[in-house]
Structure 1
Amino acid sequence: MHGPVSPAWLLVALCAATGSYCLLRMRSGVEEQRRAAGGEALMGFGMAAMAVPASVFAPPHWTWPLYAVVFGAAALRALWAARRDTHHLHHLIGTSAMVYMSLVMAASPTAHVHTHVGAGVPLVTGVLLLYFTGYVLLSGARLVPTGPAAGGAGSRRWGDRPELARACRVSMGIGTVAMLLTM
């Protein structure tokens, strides 16, 4: 991705930490947590790899189409999973956004898509920015506690804490917004 080096390293750290926690969630005793955690770990680590500043490491040109294939496969998996649970529609949009960003980067590190809205923002980028900004704001608002803390929450394992899973999803949404802004 293109952009300032310091924020890029912060994005790498955020996404790698999120991916690491998602790997921990894959050991959860709750099947729902395990099912979603693998795809979210892939997203976290993929975003971390894509966010490494180009001034530090410029990946070979074949890397971007490879990312598109990997995230395309993840998008197909999310589409298949969405048949039984609409929560996976968000995963489908997220993986599709990663495919889009990979294809834009594969076209040319400085290329811009020609379908523009307003002042030069590509149409797809604009739609994805609107979606992920709304997702971050709504999901972030849901993280704010509205009542007394539930008793016994400290006895749960780290991989079984739904509030941490939601926080990871919000942080990946923030990461996606940051990556889309650099496109």
Structure 2
Amino acid sequence: MRAPLGHFDSARPAPECLDTLVPPVAEAVRHWPGAVPVDQLVYVDTEPEWADTATFVEHYGRELLERSANCVVVAGRRGGETTLAACVVLSTTRVDVNGVVRRQLGVRKASFAPMETATGETGMEYGGITPVGLPGDWPLLVDAAVVDLPYVLVGSGRRRGKLLVPGKAFAELPNAVVLEGLGVAAG
């Protein structure tokens, strides 16, 4: 299945945009691990001020909200140990940090990682963090609803640009665990 590109003027296969991507994302695209062909990952050039999901869908169309996902970095603590992980949920939901994440990581306390930690450890910009190109030893928790979509719009590693990725590709990323109920109703 090819990516639906009707909303975007400047969309190209991600392998053609390696010089536009931050180094860890470009490296992940260059050495794509999954069964989904790498040319099905599409880079969409956007303005940095449109990076936040609400602003993005206002500009490109509200129907994209149902096909957008957020990737957030969480820190789980048990004793003196901290585990960093990434969570991918639909933009219409929020991450169940104190339930699903805490149990999956086997930690006593879990919270969103500080911005400096998230950007410093990933090599990505805050507001553009993507599951493509995360540190190889991190758990990647993916809500099942994300995997079920034909295509999902996520960050590209920068505030400028997005990636359009087949939902099933998230399950193929290193250390990915698909979980029911990771994303819970916002509000």
**TM-score calculated relative to the size of structure 2:** 0.30
Higher relative helix content: 1
Q: Which structure is larger by alpha-carbon Rg, 1 or 2?
A: 1
Structure in which a larger fraction of residues adopt strand:
2
Provide the TM-score with structure 1 as the length reference.
0.30
